[in-house]
């Protein structure tokens, strides 16, 4: 009984992993990406199956299979209520790609399933199907993790899978009908062609999802790089303008000192004080930049600070930003430019418009916080804010870009708005 018990346990494990991969790849929202938690859950799951294999406590199999998704939802996901409902489509996908094809095999082969070792739940086609799909999904999950691909489906893509389900159902019914009406040789050819087309469509659609996401990532990186280069050019132009203004101020400074000297000799102290006060108010003498130590961040901050000064918005930096050097300059530019653009727009009209950037080093993680005052409290739902603009297609994309960068470095973020202060805090693990 040892061999059959091993095969049954492997079959149960693979079936559970298939549902888990569907859940994580397509449906899990705000997955923390802390692999230690996921590994621990998988280890506990495997230990239960080893215990079942040794003791024949079959009821623990159902507990572990039914409990793995809620455990992942509770320990590894932030939007727990949303992800709890997403367990249903994960099971539907399992039915579509694993259980459903098994009904086609008896129609094509015109024979029933041969049970392995007399166990009704264990058949060779089912075992091979689980094995192949587990390898496919494991490879897909590893590829998505390495290339930072987010495979969660949107509405149209879910509709595409449902269309495939309807097509597969139609082909299954056609196989059942034509097997009874066509000659044996023709029916075999029809069955094989139908199976080939269904498998080809499924794999083609699966590949399309991965390739489309990968292209979207590359396009986003290219757009961020282009924006970063544009900001660098703008920063260099502003530096050149500042340098020219400093040269002019230096050239005129001798004349200013002579005027002050003449006022002093004439004991015109009131006029001299007024003259010095007016001179010290020169923008080039009072100009200060928020320095973080990161070139990309300083470039963005200096440009946005100029806009903030013109709009009467106070912008300050505080804390440590050395950890930002672990991020690529393009990603730093994407985060800072999008967050500062949102902050500048959000603080307009506030009673005391101000923006504060804070960086903090902790033992095992780094936090980057952007906060700004707002005219009124903003409603936050599911850790997101809906754009108030009518052109929703081209707005509200900044937070999506920030989300992609933060996920790229296995981080997470939270939104909060209290007492008319909107705050977004990004947390990055320190590796």
pLDDT of residue 370: 94
Give 82 or 277, the one with higher predicted confidence. Answer: 82
Model pLDDT for residues 317-375, shown as the tens digit of each residue:
888 888 998 888 888 888 898 899 889 998 988 888 999 999 999 878 899 999 999 99
pLDDT of residue 429: 85
Helix or strand (DSSP H, E) at 370: strand 365-373
pLDDT of residue 201: 85
pLDDT of residue 356: 93
Say whether pLDDT at 293 is over 70. Answer: yes
Model pLDDT for residues 150-182, shown as the tens digit of each residue:
787 877 887 887 888 788 888 878 877 777 787
**Which residues are CB-neighbours of 308 under 8 A, at least 6 positions away?**
314, 315, 344, 355
Which DSSP string do the residues of 257-318 spell out, in sequence order? HHHHHHHHHTT-HHHHHHHHHHHHT-HHHH------S-HHHHHHHHHHHHHHHHTT-EEEEE
CB 370 within 8 A of CB 339: yes
285 falls in which pLDDT band (50, 70, 90)? very low
**d(Cα 69, Cα 41) in Å, to the nearest integer?**
10
**Mean pLDDT value of segment 306-324:** 88
pLDDT of residue 113: 63
Say whether pLDDT at 286 is over 50. Answer: no
pLDDT of residue 189: 82
Give 387 or 57, the one with higher predicted confidence. Answer: 57
**d(Cα 210, Cα 149) in Å, to the nearest integer?**
7
Say whether pLDDT at 148 is over 90. Answer: no
CB 387 within 8 A of CB 351: no
Model pLDDT for residues 26-79, shown as the tens digit of each residue:
888 777 766 778 888 889 888 888 887 777 777 787 788 888 888 888 888 877
Give 113 or 315, the one with higher predicted confidence. Answer: 315
The first and second tokens of residue 281, run together, are: 């108010």
CB 411 within 8 A of CB 424: no
Looking at the whole model, is its pTM more than 0.75?
no
Work out the mean pLDDT of the chain and round it to a whole number.
79
Model pLDDT for residues 73-97, shown as the tens digit of each residue:
888 887 788 888 888 888 888 887 7
**Mean pLDDT value of segment 3-27:** 83
Model pLDDT for residues 419-429, shown as the tens digit of each residue:
889 999 998 88
CB 355 within 8 A of CB 315: yes
Say whether pLDDT at 394 is over 50. Answer: no
Model pLDDT for residues 205-259, shown as the tens digit of each residue:
888 888 888 888 788 778 777 877 877 777 677 666 666 666 666 656 667 677 7
Q: What angle do CA 413, 417, 418 make, to 5 degrees?
A: 135
pLDDT of residue 395: 38
N-to-C CA span, the chain: 46
SS3 call for 384:
strand
- In terms of Cα–Cα distance, which of 198, 20, 207 is closest to 96? 198
């Amino acid at each position: 009984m040892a061999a059959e018990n091993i095969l049954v346990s492997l079959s149960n494990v693979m079936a559970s992993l298939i549902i888990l991969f569907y859940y994580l790849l397509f449906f899990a929202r705000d997955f923390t990406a802390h692999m230690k938690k996921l590994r621990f859950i998988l280890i506990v799951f495997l230990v239960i199956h080893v215990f079942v294999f040794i003791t024949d406590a079959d009821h623990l199999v159902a507990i572990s299979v039914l409990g793995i998704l809620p455990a992942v939802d509770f320990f590894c996901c932030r939007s727990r209520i949303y992800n709890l409902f997403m367990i249903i489509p994960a099971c539907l996908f399992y039915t579509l790609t694993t259980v459903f094809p098994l009904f086609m095999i008896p129609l094509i082969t015109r024979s029933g399933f041969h049970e392995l070792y007399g166990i009704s739940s264990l058949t060779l086609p089912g075992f091979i199907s689980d094995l192949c799909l587990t390898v496919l999904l494991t490879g897909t999950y590893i590829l998505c993790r390495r290339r930072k691909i987010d495979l969660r489906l949107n509405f149209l893509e879910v509709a595409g899978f449902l269309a495939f389900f309807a097509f597969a159902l139609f082909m299954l019914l056609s196989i059942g009908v034509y097997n009874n009406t066509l000659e044996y040789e023709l029916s075999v050819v029809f069955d094989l062609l139908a199976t080939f087309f269904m498998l080809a469509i499924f794999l083609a659609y699966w590949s399309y999802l991965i390739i489309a996401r990968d292209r979207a990532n590359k396009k986003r990186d290219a757009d961020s790089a282009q924006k970063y280069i544009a900001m660098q050019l703008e920063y260099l132009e502003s530096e050149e303008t500042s340098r020219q203004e400093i040269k002019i101020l230096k050239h005129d400074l001798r004349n200013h000192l002579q005027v002050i000297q003449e006022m002093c000799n004439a004991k015109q102290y009131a006029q001299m004080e007024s003259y010095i006060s007016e001179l010290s108010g020169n923008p080039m003498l009072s100009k200060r930049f928020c320095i973080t130590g990161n070139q990309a961040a300083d470039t963005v901050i200096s440009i946005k600070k100029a806009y903030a000064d013109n709009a009467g918005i106070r912008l300050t930096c505080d804390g440590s930003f050395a950890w930002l050097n672990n991020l690529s300059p393009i990603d730093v530019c994407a985060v800072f430019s999008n967050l500062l653009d949102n902050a500048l727009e959000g603080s307009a009209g506030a009673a005391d418009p101000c923006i504060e950037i804070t960086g903090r080093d902790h033992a095992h993680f780094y936090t980057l916080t952007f906060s700004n005052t707002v005219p009124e409290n903003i409603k936050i739902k599911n850790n997101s804010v809906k754009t108030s603009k009518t052109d929703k297609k081209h707005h509200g994309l900044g937070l999506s870009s920030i989300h992609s960068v933060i996920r790229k470095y296995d981080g997470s973020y939270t939104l909060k708005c209290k007492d008319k202060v909107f705050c977004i805090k990004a947390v990055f693990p320190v590796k």
